[in-house]
Amino acid sequence: MSILVINTGSSSLKFCLFNDQASAVILDGEIDWHGRGQPAELTVRITGQPERKTTTDASDSASAVTLAIQTASDSLPEGQSIQAVGHRVVHGGTRFLESTRIDPAFEAELDHLTELAPLHNPPALKAIKAAENELPKIPQVAVFDTSFFANLPRSAAVYPVPWVWHENYGIRRFGFHGISHSYCTGRAAEILERPADSLRLVICHLGNGCSAAAVKNGVAIDTTMGFTPLDGLMMGTRSGEVDPGILLYLMKEKGLSADQIDEALNHRSGLLGISGTSSDYRRVESAAGAGDDRARLALEIYAARVRSAIGSLAATLGGLDALIFAAGVGENSATLRSAATKGLEFLGVQIDPLKNNNHPVDAAISTAESRSKVLVIHTREELMIAREVAKLIARA
Protein backbone atom coordinates (compact mmCIF):
# COMPACT_ATOMS: atom_id res chain seq x y z
CA MET A 1 0.00 0.00 0.00
CA SER A 2 1.11 3.58 -0.62
CA ILE A 3 -0.20 6.79 0.97
CA LEU A 4 -0.43 10.03 -0.98
CA VAL A 5 -0.38 13.24 1.07
CA ILE A 6 -1.81 16.44 -0.40
CA ASN A 7 -1.04 19.78 1.25
CA THR A 8 -3.01 22.50 -0.51
CA GLY A 9 -2.23 26.21 -0.29
CA SER A 10 -3.85 29.23 -1.89
CA SER A 11 -1.41 29.26 -4.86
CA SER A 12 0.55 26.04 -4.52
CA LEU A 13 0.15 22.36 -3.73
CA LYS A 14 2.69 20.04 -2.13
CA PHE A 15 2.36 16.30 -2.49
CA CYS A 16 4.29 13.37 -1.11
CA LEU A 17 3.99 9.62 -1.69
CA PHE A 18 4.87 7.31 1.22
CA ASN A 19 5.06 3.59 1.68
CA ASP A 20 2.34 1.84 3.71
CA GLN A 21 3.93 2.43 7.12
CA ALA A 22 4.69 6.11 6.36
CA SER A 23 8.34 5.29 7.02
CA ALA A 24 9.84 6.02 3.60
CA VAL A 25 9.24 8.66 0.92
CA ILE A 26 8.78 7.34 -2.60
CA LEU A 27 8.28 10.73 -4.25
CA ASP A 28 7.63 14.31 -3.30
CA GLY A 29 6.95 17.47 -5.22
CA GLU A 30 5.01 20.66 -5.54
CA ILE A 31 2.94 22.51 -8.09
CA ASP A 32 3.12 26.30 -7.95
CA TRP A 33 0.71 28.21 -10.14
CA HIS A 34 1.99 31.61 -8.96
CA GLY A 35 -0.75 33.86 -10.34
CA ARG A 36 -2.88 34.47 -13.36
CA GLY A 37 -1.07 34.79 -16.65
CA GLN A 38 2.01 32.90 -15.47
CA PRO A 39 2.72 29.24 -16.29
CA ALA A 40 2.53 26.83 -13.38
CA GLU A 41 5.63 24.87 -12.42
CA LEU A 42 5.77 21.21 -11.41
CA THR A 43 8.76 20.07 -9.33
CA VAL A 44 9.29 16.35 -8.69
CA ARG A 45 11.89 14.62 -6.53
CA ILE A 46 12.31 10.85 -6.57
CA THR A 47 14.87 9.17 -4.34
CA GLY A 48 18.08 8.50 -6.26
CA GLN A 49 17.09 10.66 -9.24
CA PRO A 50 17.79 14.31 -10.11
CA GLU A 51 15.08 16.85 -9.39
CA ARG A 52 12.75 17.49 -12.34
CA LYS A 53 11.08 20.81 -13.14
CA THR A 54 8.50 21.28 -15.89
CA THR A 55 5.80 23.80 -16.71
CA THR A 56 2.16 22.77 -16.60
CA ASP A 57 -1.27 24.24 -17.23
CA ALA A 58 -2.52 23.43 -13.72
CA SER A 59 -4.02 26.69 -12.48
CA ASP A 60 -5.91 25.83 -9.30
CA SER A 61 -6.04 23.25 -6.52
CA ALA A 62 -8.38 20.91 -8.42
CA SER A 63 -6.24 20.64 -11.56
CA ALA A 64 -3.10 20.47 -9.40
CA VAL A 65 -4.51 17.47 -7.50
CA THR A 66 -5.22 15.69 -10.77
CA LEU A 67 -1.64 16.27 -11.89
CA ALA A 68 -0.22 15.23 -8.49
CA ILE A 69 -2.15 11.95 -8.55
CA GLN A 70 -1.05 11.19 -12.11
CA THR A 71 2.58 11.99 -11.25
CA ALA A 72 2.51 9.87 -8.10
CA SER A 73 0.78 6.94 -9.83
CA ASP A 74 3.31 6.96 -12.67
CA SER A 75 6.15 6.60 -10.16
CA LEU A 76 4.80 3.33 -8.73
CA PRO A 77 5.88 -0.07 -10.05
CA GLU A 78 3.44 -1.83 -12.35
CA GLY A 79 0.61 -3.44 -10.41
CA GLN A 80 0.87 -1.04 -7.46
CA SER A 81 -1.42 1.89 -6.82
CA ILE A 82 -2.29 4.63 -4.35
CA GLN A 83 -4.32 3.09 -1.56
CA ALA A 84 -5.04 6.07 0.70
CA VAL A 85 -4.94 9.87 0.53
CA GLY A 86 -4.32 12.30 3.39
CA HIS A 87 -5.24 15.97 3.17
CA ARG A 88 -4.01 18.85 5.30
CA VAL A 89 -6.99 20.95 6.38
CA VAL A 90 -6.21 24.18 8.21
CA HIS A 91 -9.38 24.77 10.24
CA GLY A 92 -11.42 22.06 11.94
CA GLY A 93 -13.42 24.40 14.16
CA THR A 94 -14.92 22.87 17.31
CA ARG A 95 -16.39 19.96 15.35
CA PHE A 96 -13.20 18.26 14.15
CA LEU A 97 -10.72 17.79 16.98
CA GLU A 98 -8.79 14.89 15.46
CA SER A 99 -8.07 13.30 12.09
CA THR A 100 -11.24 12.20 10.30
CA ARG A 101 -12.28 9.91 7.43
CA ILE A 102 -13.77 12.00 4.63
CA ASP A 103 -17.37 11.42 3.48
CA PRO A 104 -20.15 13.65 2.08
CA ALA A 105 -21.30 14.68 5.56
CA PHE A 106 -17.76 15.74 6.43
CA GLU A 107 -17.50 17.83 3.25
CA ALA A 108 -20.76 19.61 4.03
CA GLU A 109 -19.55 20.49 7.53
CA LEU A 110 -16.15 21.60 6.25
CA ASP A 111 -17.88 23.92 3.80
CA HIS A 112 -19.47 25.71 6.78
CA LEU A 113 -16.00 26.44 8.18
CA THR A 114 -14.91 28.38 5.07
CA GLU A 115 -15.41 31.77 6.72
CA LEU A 116 -12.96 30.85 9.51
CA ALA A 117 -10.07 30.16 7.12
CA PRO A 118 -10.96 31.81 3.79
CA LEU A 119 -7.46 31.48 2.33
CA HIS A 120 -7.04 27.80 3.15
CA ASN A 121 -10.21 25.75 3.64
CA PRO A 122 -11.84 26.46 0.23
CA PRO A 123 -8.86 25.21 -1.83
CA ALA A 124 -8.52 22.22 0.52
CA LEU A 125 -12.17 21.31 -0.08
CA LYS A 126 -11.68 21.65 -3.85
CA ALA A 127 -8.62 19.39 -3.58
CA ILE A 128 -10.57 16.78 -1.62
CA LYS A 129 -13.33 16.66 -4.22
CA ALA A 130 -10.81 16.44 -7.07
CA ALA A 131 -8.99 13.57 -5.34
CA GLU A 132 -12.29 11.74 -4.84
CA ASN A 133 -13.04 12.12 -8.55
CA GLU A 134 -9.64 10.68 -9.48
CA LEU A 135 -9.63 7.94 -6.82
CA PRO A 136 -13.31 7.30 -6.05
CA LYS A 137 -12.92 4.08 -4.05
CA ILE A 138 -9.83 5.04 -2.06
CA PRO A 139 -10.12 6.09 1.62
CA GLN A 140 -9.40 9.78 2.15
CA VAL A 141 -8.47 11.31 5.50
CA ALA A 142 -8.45 14.93 6.71
CA VAL A 143 -5.72 15.94 9.18
CA PHE A 144 -6.27 19.29 10.89
CA ASP A 145 -3.85 22.06 11.80
CA THR A 146 -6.10 22.92 14.74
CA SER A 147 -6.03 19.45 16.38
CA PHE A 148 -2.76 19.97 18.28
CA PHE A 149 -4.36 22.95 20.05
CA ALA A 150 -7.79 21.40 20.66
CA ASN A 151 -7.14 21.07 24.40
CA LEU A 152 -5.55 24.43 25.15
CA PRO A 153 -6.12 25.53 28.76
CA ARG A 154 -9.27 27.63 29.01
CA SER A 155 -7.20 30.61 30.12
CA ALA A 156 -5.45 30.49 26.73
CA ALA A 157 -8.44 29.48 24.58
CA VAL A 158 -11.08 31.90 25.88
CA TYR A 159 -10.97 35.55 24.77
CA PRO A 160 -11.93 38.31 27.24
CA VAL A 161 -15.04 39.26 25.24
CA PRO A 162 -18.74 38.97 26.19
CA TRP A 163 -19.37 35.39 27.30
CA VAL A 164 -22.24 35.02 24.84
CA TRP A 165 -19.73 35.30 21.96
CA HIS A 166 -17.91 32.27 23.31
CA GLU A 167 -21.05 30.34 24.22
CA ASN A 168 -23.28 31.09 21.22
CA TYR A 169 -20.85 31.93 18.40
CA GLY A 170 -17.98 29.57 19.18
CA ILE A 171 -15.44 32.38 19.50
CA ARG A 172 -12.19 30.93 20.93
CA ARG A 173 -8.51 30.57 20.20
CA PHE A 174 -8.03 27.61 17.87
CA GLY A 175 -4.34 27.82 16.96
CA PHE A 176 -2.84 26.68 13.65
CA HIS A 177 0.24 25.03 12.12
CA GLY A 178 -0.47 22.29 14.64
CA ILE A 179 0.81 19.54 12.35
CA SER A 180 4.17 21.30 12.16
CA HIS A 181 4.27 22.12 15.89
CA SER A 182 3.46 18.50 16.71
CA TYR A 183 6.24 17.19 14.46
CA CYS A 184 8.77 19.66 15.90
CA THR A 185 7.84 18.60 19.43
CA GLY A 186 8.69 14.98 18.70
CA ARG A 187 11.78 15.76 16.64
CA ALA A 188 13.16 18.09 19.33
CA ALA A 189 12.84 15.29 21.88
CA GLU A 190 14.84 13.01 19.56
CA ILE A 191 17.58 15.59 18.96
CA LEU A 192 17.87 16.48 22.64
CA GLU A 193 17.62 12.81 23.67
CA ARG A 194 15.03 13.64 26.26
CA PRO A 195 11.38 12.58 26.61
CA ALA A 196 8.94 15.10 25.14
CA ASP A 197 7.03 15.05 28.42
CA SER A 198 10.05 16.56 30.20
CA LEU A 199 10.55 19.57 27.91
CA ARG A 200 9.47 23.22 27.83
CA LEU A 201 9.57 24.30 24.18
CA VAL A 202 8.87 27.48 22.26
CA ILE A 203 8.38 26.59 18.60
CA CYS A 204 8.48 29.28 15.89
CA HIS A 205 6.93 28.16 12.61
CA LEU A 206 7.95 30.98 10.28
CA GLY A 207 6.95 30.78 6.64
CA ASN A 208 4.48 32.76 4.57
CA GLY A 209 2.21 32.11 7.51
CA CYS A 210 3.78 32.42 10.98
CA SER A 211 2.92 31.17 14.44
CA ALA A 212 4.69 30.43 17.69
CA ALA A 213 3.59 27.94 20.32
CA ALA A 214 4.39 27.07 23.92
CA VAL A 215 4.60 23.30 24.42
CA LYS A 216 5.00 21.90 27.93
CA ASN A 217 5.53 18.19 28.56
CA GLY A 218 4.49 17.42 24.98
CA VAL A 219 1.22 19.38 25.20
CA ALA A 220 0.43 22.79 23.66
CA ILE A 221 -0.52 25.32 26.33
CA ASP A 222 -0.54 28.55 24.29
CA THR A 223 -0.06 29.83 20.76
CA THR A 224 -0.04 33.11 18.85
CA MET A 225 -2.63 32.37 16.17
CA GLY A 226 -6.21 32.64 17.35
CA PHE A 227 -9.77 32.32 16.07
CA THR A 228 -8.39 32.53 12.54
CA PRO A 229 -4.88 32.27 11.02
CA LEU A 230 -4.79 36.09 10.84
CA ASP A 231 -3.81 36.61 14.49
CA GLY A 232 -0.39 36.72 16.12
CA LEU A 233 2.92 37.25 14.35
CA MET A 234 3.57 39.42 11.30
CA MET A 235 3.46 37.26 8.15
CA GLY A 236 4.00 37.44 4.40
CA THR A 237 0.75 39.22 3.52
CA ARG A 238 -1.12 38.97 6.84
CA SER A 239 -0.89 41.62 9.52
CA GLY A 240 -0.93 39.42 12.59
CA GLU A 241 -2.09 41.07 15.80
CA VAL A 242 -3.39 44.63 15.47
CA ASP A 243 -5.38 46.92 17.76
CA PRO A 244 -9.06 46.12 17.04
CA GLY A 245 -9.75 49.81 17.61
CA ILE A 246 -7.96 50.50 14.32
CA LEU A 247 -10.54 48.41 12.47
CA LEU A 248 -13.45 50.17 14.19
CA TYR A 249 -11.91 53.54 13.33
CA LEU A 250 -11.47 52.61 9.67
CA MET A 251 -15.07 51.41 9.43
CA LYS A 252 -16.69 54.28 11.32
CA GLU A 253 -14.53 57.23 10.34
CA LYS A 254 -13.07 56.28 6.94
CA GLY A 255 -15.95 54.25 5.55
CA LEU A 256 -14.05 51.06 4.82
CA SER A 257 -16.23 47.98 4.49
CA ALA A 258 -15.64 44.66 6.25
CA ASP A 259 -14.63 43.16 2.89
CA GLN A 260 -12.08 45.92 2.27
CA ILE A 261 -10.53 45.43 5.71
CA ASP A 262 -10.52 41.66 5.24
CA GLU A 263 -8.70 42.04 1.90
CA ALA A 264 -6.17 44.46 3.37
CA LEU A 265 -5.36 42.43 6.49
CA ASN A 266 -5.12 39.07 4.71
CA HIS A 267 -3.57 40.05 1.37
CA ARG A 268 -1.89 43.48 1.58
CA SER A 269 -0.32 43.62 5.04
CA GLY A 270 2.67 41.96 6.70
CA LEU A 271 5.99 41.99 4.87
CA LEU A 272 4.29 43.08 1.66
CA GLY A 273 2.39 45.91 3.30
CA ILE A 274 5.36 47.42 5.11
CA SER A 275 8.08 46.85 2.50
CA GLY A 276 5.96 47.56 -0.57
CA THR A 277 8.35 45.13 -2.26
CA SER A 278 7.23 41.54 -1.74
CA SER A 279 5.67 39.05 0.65
CA ASP A 280 8.73 36.81 0.13
CA TYR A 281 11.17 37.19 3.03
CA ARG A 282 14.15 36.57 0.73
CA ARG A 283 13.18 39.40 -1.63
CA VAL A 284 12.56 41.79 1.26
CA GLU A 285 15.98 40.84 2.67
CA SER A 286 17.57 41.53 -0.70
CA ALA A 287 15.84 44.92 -0.95
CA ALA A 288 16.94 45.81 2.58
CA GLY A 289 20.51 44.88 1.69
CA ALA A 290 20.31 47.24 -1.28
CA GLY A 291 19.39 50.12 1.03
CA ASP A 292 15.57 50.09 0.89
CA ASP A 293 14.45 51.73 4.15
CA ARG A 294 10.93 50.28 4.17
CA ALA A 295 12.29 46.80 3.56
CA ARG A 296 14.67 47.23 6.51
CA LEU A 297 11.77 48.39 8.67
CA ALA A 298 9.70 45.36 7.64
CA LEU A 299 12.48 43.02 8.74
CA GLU A 300 12.89 44.86 12.05
CA ILE A 301 9.18 44.62 12.84
CA TYR A 302 9.11 40.95 11.81
CA ALA A 303 12.03 40.06 14.11
CA ALA A 304 10.64 42.17 16.97
CA ARG A 305 7.28 40.38 16.81
CA VAL A 306 8.99 36.98 16.89
CA ARG A 307 11.25 38.00 19.77
CA SER A 308 8.30 39.34 21.77
CA ALA A 309 6.37 36.11 21.25
CA ILE A 310 9.32 33.99 22.38
CA GLY A 311 9.63 35.99 25.61
CA SER A 312 5.89 35.86 26.30
CA LEU A 313 5.58 32.13 25.64
CA ALA A 314 8.70 31.35 27.70
CA ALA A 315 7.07 33.18 30.61
CA THR A 316 3.93 31.07 30.15
CA LEU A 317 6.09 27.94 30.31
CA GLY A 318 7.91 29.12 33.42
CA GLY A 319 11.25 28.69 31.69
CA LEU A 320 12.74 27.38 28.48
CA ASP A 321 14.55 24.17 27.63
CA ALA A 322 14.66 24.69 23.87
CA LEU A 323 13.74 27.29 21.27
CA ILE A 324 12.93 25.90 17.82
CA PHE A 325 12.90 27.58 14.41
CA ALA A 326 11.06 25.81 11.59
CA ALA A 327 9.43 26.34 8.16
CA GLY A 328 10.73 28.35 5.21
CA VAL A 329 11.99 31.49 6.94
CA GLY A 330 12.79 29.85 10.26
CA GLU A 331 14.85 27.13 8.63
CA ASN A 332 16.63 29.20 6.01
CA SER A 333 17.27 32.71 7.32
CA ALA A 334 20.28 32.93 9.62
CA THR A 335 19.83 36.70 9.89
CA LEU A 336 16.26 36.32 11.13
CA ARG A 337 17.29 33.77 13.76
CA SER A 338 20.07 36.08 14.93
CA ALA A 339 17.81 39.16 15.04
CA ALA A 340 14.91 37.38 16.72
CA THR A 341 17.09 36.02 19.55
CA LYS A 342 19.07 39.23 20.18
CA GLY A 343 18.39 40.30 23.76
CA LEU A 344 17.12 36.90 24.90
CA GLU A 345 20.27 36.11 26.87
CA PHE A 346 18.21 36.50 30.06
CA LEU A 347 16.40 33.32 28.99
CA GLY A 348 19.71 31.54 28.60
CA VAL A 349 19.59 31.80 24.79
CA GLN A 350 22.99 32.13 23.13
CA ILE A 351 23.48 31.45 19.42
CA ASP A 352 26.77 30.29 17.93
CA PRO A 353 27.20 32.49 14.79
CA LEU A 354 29.19 29.81 12.95
CA LYS A 355 26.57 27.11 13.55
CA ASN A 356 23.78 29.53 12.73
CA ASN A 357 25.31 30.44 9.36
CA ASN A 358 26.20 26.87 8.40
CA HIS A 359 22.79 25.92 6.93
CA PRO A 360 21.72 23.80 9.93
CA VAL A 361 19.13 21.05 9.51
CA ASP A 362 17.76 19.24 12.57
CA ALA A 363 20.67 20.62 14.57
CA ALA A 364 21.47 22.86 17.53
CA ILE A 365 22.81 26.34 16.78
CA SER A 366 23.25 27.36 20.42
CA THR A 367 26.62 27.70 22.12
CA ALA A 368 27.88 25.08 24.56
CA GLU A 369 27.23 27.57 27.39
CA SER A 370 23.64 28.32 26.36
CA ARG A 371 21.25 27.19 29.11
CA SER A 372 18.43 26.96 26.57
CA LYS A 373 19.11 24.97 23.42
CA VAL A 374 18.28 26.60 20.08
CA LEU A 375 17.34 24.15 17.32
CA VAL A 376 16.63 24.46 13.62
CA ILE A 377 14.25 21.71 12.55
CA HIS A 378 13.17 20.85 9.04
CA THR A 379 9.45 20.50 9.65
CA ARG A 380 7.75 17.58 7.91
CA GLU A 381 4.02 18.14 7.85
CA GLU A 382 3.50 15.60 5.08
CA LEU A 383 5.15 12.86 7.16
CA MET A 384 2.89 13.64 10.12
CA ILE A 385 -0.19 13.49 7.86
CA ALA A 386 0.92 10.14 6.41
CA ARG A 387 1.39 8.75 9.92
CA GLU A 388 -2.11 9.89 10.87
CA VAL A 389 -3.57 8.26 7.74
CA ALA A 390 -1.77 4.96 8.44
CA LYS A 391 -2.92 5.02 12.06
CA LEU A 392 -6.55 5.76 11.18
CA ILE A 393 -6.71 3.07 8.50
CA ALA A 394 -5.07 0.49 10.79
CA ARG A 395 -7.62 1.31 13.48
CA ALA A 396 -10.50 0.97 10.99
**What residues are labeled active site?**
145
Burial environment of residue 363 by CB neighbours within 10 A (0 to 12, 13 to 18, 19 or more): middle
Bridge-partner residues for 30, per DSSP? 14, 43
Instruction: Fill in the DSSP letter of residue 94.
Output: T
Which residue, 331, 325, 378, 380, is CA-closest to 358?
Answer: 331
**Pairwise CA distance, residues 187 & 312, whole Å:** 23
Radius of gyration (Cα) for the chain, nearest Å?
21
Whether residue 381 contacts residue 326, with contact meaning beta carbons closer than 8 Å, is answered with no
**Pairwise CA distance, residues 15 & 5, whole Å:** 5
**Pairwise CA distance, residues 64 & 42, whole Å:** 9
In the chain, which ranges are continuous DSSP H helix? Answer: 61-75, 104-112, 121-134, 154-157, 163-169, 178-192, 244-252, 258-267, 270-275, 281-289, 293-317, 327-332, 334-341, 353-356, 381-395
**Pairwise CA distance, residues 372 & 320, whole Å:** 6
Bridge-partner residues for 353, per DSSP? none
**Pairwise CA distance, residues 306 & 227, whole Å:** 19
